A = this chain, B = another copy of it.
Amino acid sequence: MSVTPTRDRRAERREATRAEILAAATDLIGEHGAAALSLRDLGARVGMRAQSLYSYFASKDAIYDALFHQGSNEFLERARAMTLTEDPRENLRRCTWLFVEFCVEDSARYQLLFQRTIPGFEPSPEAFAPSIEAVEMTRQLVVAAGGDDPRDLDLLSALVTGLVDQQISNDPGGDRWTRLHTEALDMFFEHLDAKHG
């Protein structure tokens, strides 16, 4: 009589290879920019021909999409794992700092997720879903910190992504802008107080 195994070793191996390919892709776009990924280089990096990658991903865009999903999921998980305090403003400080660290630690991922500079690539709804949830989490933190006006979230998001953007573009590897994070949030909170009394 045949016995059904509880583990599917073939599927496991396949998933492991997929993960290996994505890790190599992450390395490559870190080296040459998100828009410069080529399947030849990627195949070479994992020890196969470019054509063999099609056994794992349907297209180059499918690889970008998987990276996008991975990236937006990664941030969402970090945000969820964040320890919350009783001070709502401290929570917002921590969450935005998490975001700043997440972005500057991997600028190619930032480019992929937030700058949308890859010609022709649009993330699928599934890949995008975690980002939406993370924004919703942030929105609630902003409300708890006294920012009930929707404009407040937009202003904060501009402020924080501005720090990240300037850091990556004009002082890569440094901290000229990221070190302004605390001051920036204090400025934002002062503004909320002045605005809503």
Contacts and interface: CB of A to CB of B under 8 A. Distances in A.
A180 B158 contact: yes
26 contacts: A32-B119, A35-B35, A35-B119, A36-B119, A36-B120, A114-B169, A115-B115, A151-B183, A154-B176, A154-B180, A155-B184, A157-B162, A158-B159, A158-B162, A158-B163, A158-B177, A159-B162, A160-B162, A161-B165, A161-B166, A162-B162, A165-B165, A187-B190, A190-B190, A190-B191, A190-B194
A194 B157 CA distance: 22
Of A118, A158, A177, most B-chain CB atoms within 10 Å? A158
Contacts of A88: none
Interface residues of A, number: 37
Contacts of A169: 114-116
Contacts of A160: 162
B155 A165 contact: no
